[in-house]
């Protein structure tokens, strides 16, 4: 019985070995040839690998294209060189497993030249054309648009009828039209039809192709190319307008978050809080500390940072109100000087704890990248999320002020403090909670800003003046006015910047607000109530 089992094991082992050898030896022999091949002999070897291995050979081609392919001198096996946190490591080309105990003395680089790089780019794109992923196929077609040749077109023509994905098929049709438009072998009528199809595309390679056709010998082709370029330019300008509008709304959302808390404290208490920017800074540093505490959960850290920043900045606001501001009611100049001093203290405190250097806050993966609508318009996800977040905070604050007892008391005190106090409202408690609420929202603004810029001790100072401009322009204490003013100033600034520059745009906006306040001192939406004067 034992002998029978041993015989079966031997037969199974031989069968497995033969199957393995049949499957792996062609690739292994080609890879071995690649190690010792001269540059002029490498292209045929790579062609055989591409034909036999298909998509599986892409990691090798990408590493070789980047000039990071090496082989181990001892056994001739291929490895890729990678940089990880400043350290050079070598990994298996296909499994990406780190090969330990390797130094530069143990490996030798496989050289590439421009001819080989050109082949690799085309080969990678052609392999990707038959990949399973539609995104990969679409990306491959777009990469090939700038270097279409007869072989590539023949491959696309063969794949086009059976392509199921709509976007990939559109990209393939675009490639075929580009080739047809430039093909002097086709009759002019077919070239004109191809140019008409190209006039609906915003791809940069399409515009380059049409620009070249402006030098064509056929006047009809030149005229069609000119009209197509004009049509594309008009569409591109419309999307450029949308892009500018998006950046204006993005800046407006930041201004809204930064100023909405100031609008509450300024409107209810009449306090010119020069330390409001430092509440924003504290929120940003809270985000940085949260990521230090949970470095392996960056994608979730922001959900912890938002309530943490609200609490830290809110408690600091309550502390400032209880210790300083409540003793200075009715003395705006002293309040301004006191809060300015507090802002300097907080800045120095942060410098002492975290150093004066800026700190980098990591962006969660789900906020990274952009949403590409078309080749000329893409919306960055972090700004898109911050815009939505700012509107949610605004809606939540409106609900708090309209539907809660705290909101009722806040509105009562903001409209007539003396009457509210006579009716039994604890104005001191309302002041503390209002200042804490406004400071907490400023902390949330710091969380949002940490995703757009570096975190530093002077972060808040960059937004304090803009916040006061928004509050005064919109109407002191009016949330709707703050919303309208923030987005209006944000959009106006972004539309002015391309023509005037950032500094002059800010000056123009400031001059506009000064002139506007001369005509309407109470802003867009003046406060109502018996004590509004």
174-232 pLDDT per residue, tens? 989 998 888 887 888 888 999 999 988 888 888 988 998 888 888 999 999 999 999 99
Host H or E run for residue 379: strand 377-380
**Are 362 and 412 in a shared domain?**
yes
**Are 101 and 206 in a shared domain?**
no
DSSP code of residue 327:
G
Residue 168 belongs to a domain: yes
Residue 359, SS3 per DSSP: strand
Q: Measure the CA–CA gap between 393 and 155, rounded to whole angstroms.
A: 53
Host H or E run for residue 377: strand 377-380
**Residue-level pLDDT at 531:** 44
What's the pTM value of the predicted model, to 2 decimals? 0.75
**Residue 113 in this model has a pLDDT that exceeds 90:** no
**Residue 5 in this model has a pLDDT that exceeds 50:** no
Looking at per-residue pLDDT, the higher value among 247 and 532 belongs to 247
Q: Which residues constitute the domain of residue 165?
A: 130-213
Residue 235 belongs to a domain: no
**Residue-level pLDDT at 2:** 47
**Residue-level pLDDT at 10:** 42
User: CB–CB of 91/80 below 8 Å?
Assistant: yes
**Are 32 and 73 in a shared domain?**
yes
**Are 110 and 254 in a shared domain?**
no
Residue 5 belongs to a domain: no
**Are 46 and 168 in a shared domain?**
no
Minimum mean pLDDT range among 88-102, 364-378, 394-408, 411-425: 411-425
Q: How sure is the predictor about 56, in pLDDT bands with cuts at 50, 70 and 90? A: confident
CATH number of the structural domain spanning residue 385? 1.10.3470
User: CB–CB of 69/63 below 8 Å?
Assistant: yes
Residue 229 belongs to a domain: no
Minimum mean pLDDT range among 1-5, 130-134, 327-331: 1-5
**pLDDT tens digits for range 459-518:** 888 888 888 888 888 887 778 889 999 999 999 999 998 888 888 988 898 899 989 888
Sheet holding 107-109, edge to edge: 87-92, 78-84, 69-72, 107-109
Residue 230 belongs to a domain: no
Give the residue from 157, 191, 213 where a domain finishes.
213
CA end-to-end distance (rounded Å), the chain = 106
User: CB–CB of 205/147 below 8 Å?
Assistant: no
**Are 311 and 457 in a shared domain?**
yes
The count of C-alpha atoms lying within 13 angstroms of the C-alpha of 399, restricted to the half-sphere facing its C-beta, is: 6
Residue 374, SS3 per DSSP: strand
**pLDDT tens digits for range 7-43:** 444 444 433 333 333 344 456 677 777 777 777 778 8
**Residue-level pLDDT at 143:** 80
**Are 324 and 413 in a shared domain?**
yes
CA distance readout (Å), 200 to 186, 206, 236, 379: 21, 10, 11, 21
Residue 515 belongs to a domain: yes
Please give the structure tokens belonging to residue 532: 């509004």
Please give the structure tokens belonging to residue 402: 């309209």
Residue 215, SS3 per DSSP: coil
Question: Which one, of 286, 438, 278, lies nearest residue 346 by Cα?
Answer: 278
**Are 271 and 185 in a shared domain?**
no
**Residue-level pLDDT at 85:** 67
**Are 153 and 98 in a shared domain?**
no
Q: How sure is the predictor about 344, in pLDDT bands with cuts at 50, 70 and 90? A: very high
Minimum mean pLDDT range among 246-250, 354-358, 425-429, 525-529: 525-529
User: How many other β-carbons are positioned within 10 Å of the β-carbon of residue 501?
Assistant: 11
463-474 in b/e burial notation, b at 16+ Cβ within 10 A?
A: bbebbbbbbbbb
Phi, psi of 69 (to 5 degrees): -90, 130
**Are 112 and 139 in a shared domain?**
no
What's the whole-number mean pLDDT along residues 151-155?
Answer: 82
Domains contained in the chain, number = 3
Looking at per-residue pLDDT, the higher value among 330 and 78 belongs to 78
Residue 4 belongs to a domain: no
The widest CA-to-CA distance across the chain, in whole angstroms, is 106
User: CB–CB of 236/202 below 8 Å?
Assistant: yes
Mean pLDDT of the chain: 83
Q: How sure is the predictor about 527, in pLDDT bands with cuts at 50, 70 and 90? A: low
Contacts of 239-244 with C-beta under 8 Å, sequence gap 24+, read: 239/202, 239/373, 239/374, 239/376, 239/377, 240/376, 242/377, 243/376, 243/377, 244/494, 244/495, 244/498
**Residue-level pLDDT at 314:** 92
User: How many other β-carbons are positioned within 10 Å of the β-carbon of residue 145?
Assistant: 21
Give the residue from 53, 85, 116 where a domain finishes.
116
Minimum mean pLDDT range among 272-276, 285-289, 475-479: 475-479
Give the residue from 116, 143, 160 where a domain finishes.
116
Alpha-carbon 43 to chain mean position: 39
**Are 351 and 451 in a shared domain?**
yes
Minimum mean pLDDT range among 350-354, 394-398, 475-479: 475-479
Q: Measure the CA–CA gap between 416 and 63, rounded to whole angstroms.
A: 71
User: CB–CB of 320/326 below 8 Å?
Assistant: no
**Residue 422 in this model has a pLDDT that exceeds 70:** yes
Residue 305 belongs to a domain: yes
**Residue 110 in this model has a pLDDT that exceeds 80:** yes
**Are 104 and 175 in a shared domain?**
no
């Amino acid at each position: 019985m034992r002998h029978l089992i041993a015989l079966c094991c031997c037969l199974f082992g031989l069968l497995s070995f033969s199957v393995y050898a049949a499957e792996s030896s062609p690739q292994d022999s080609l890879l071995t040839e690649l190690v010792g091949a001269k540059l002029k002999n490498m292209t045929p070897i790579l062609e055989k690998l591409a034909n036999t291995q298909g998509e599986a050979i892409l990691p090798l081609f990408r590493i070789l294209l980047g000039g990071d392919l090496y082989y181990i001198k001892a056994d001739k096996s291929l490895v890729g060189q990678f940089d990880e946190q400043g350290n050079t490591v070598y990994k298996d080309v296909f499994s990406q497993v780190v090969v330990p105990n390797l130094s530069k003395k143990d490996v030798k680089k496989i050289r590439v030249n421009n001819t080989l790089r050109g082949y690799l780019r085309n080969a990678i794109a052609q392999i990707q054309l038959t990949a399973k992923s539609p995104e990969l196929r679409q990306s491959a077609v777009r990469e090939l648009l700038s270097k279409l040749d007869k072989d590539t077109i023949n491959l696309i023509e063969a794949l086009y009828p059976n392509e199921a994905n709509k976007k990939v098929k559109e990209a393939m049709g675009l490639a075929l039209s580009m080739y047809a438009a430039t093909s002097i072998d086709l009759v002019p009528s077919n070239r004109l039809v191809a140019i008409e199809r190209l006039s609906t595309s915003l791809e940069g390679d399409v515009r380059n192709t049409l620009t070249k056709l402006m030098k064509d010998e056929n006047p009809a082709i030149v005229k069609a190319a000119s009209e197509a370029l004009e049509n594309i330019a008009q569409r591109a300008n419309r999307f450029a307008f949308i892009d500018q509008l998006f950046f204006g709304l993005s800046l407006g959302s930041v201004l809204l978050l930064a100023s909405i808390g100031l609008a509450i404290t300024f409107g209810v208490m009449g306090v010119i809080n020069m330390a409001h920017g430092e509440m924003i800074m504290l929120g940003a540093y809270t985000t940085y500390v949260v990521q230090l505490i949970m470095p392996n959960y960056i994608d979730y850290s922001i959900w912890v940072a938002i309530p943490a920043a609200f609490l830290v900045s809110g408690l600091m606001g309550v502390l400032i109100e209880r210790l300083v501001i409540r003793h200075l009611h009715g003395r705006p100049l002293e309040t301004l000087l006191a809060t300015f001093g507090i802002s300097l203290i907080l800045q120095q405190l942060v410098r002492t704890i975290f150093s004066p250097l800026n700190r980098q806050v990591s962006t969660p993966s789900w906020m990274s990248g952009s949403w590409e609508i078309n080749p000329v318009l893409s919306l960055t996800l972090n700004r898109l999320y911050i815009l939505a977040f700012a509107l949610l905070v605004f809606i939540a604050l409106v609900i708090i002020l309209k539907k809660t007892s705290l909101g009722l008391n806040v509105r009562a005190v903001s409209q007539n403090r003396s009457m509210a106090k006579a009716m039994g409202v604890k104005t001191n408690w309302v002041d503390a909670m209002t200042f804490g609420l406004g400071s907490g929202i400023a902390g949330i603004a710091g969380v949002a800003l940490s995703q757009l810029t570096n975190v530093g001790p002077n972060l808040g100072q960059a937004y304090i003046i803009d916040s006061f401009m928004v509050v005064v322009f919109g109407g002191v204490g009016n949330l709707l006015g703050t919303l309208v003013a923030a987005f209006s100033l944000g959009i106006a600034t972004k539309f002015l910047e391309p023509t005037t520059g950032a500094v002059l745009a800010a000056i123009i906006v400031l001059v506009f607000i000064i002139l506007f306040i001369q005509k309407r001192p109470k802003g867009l939406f003046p406060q109502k109530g018996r004590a509004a004067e």
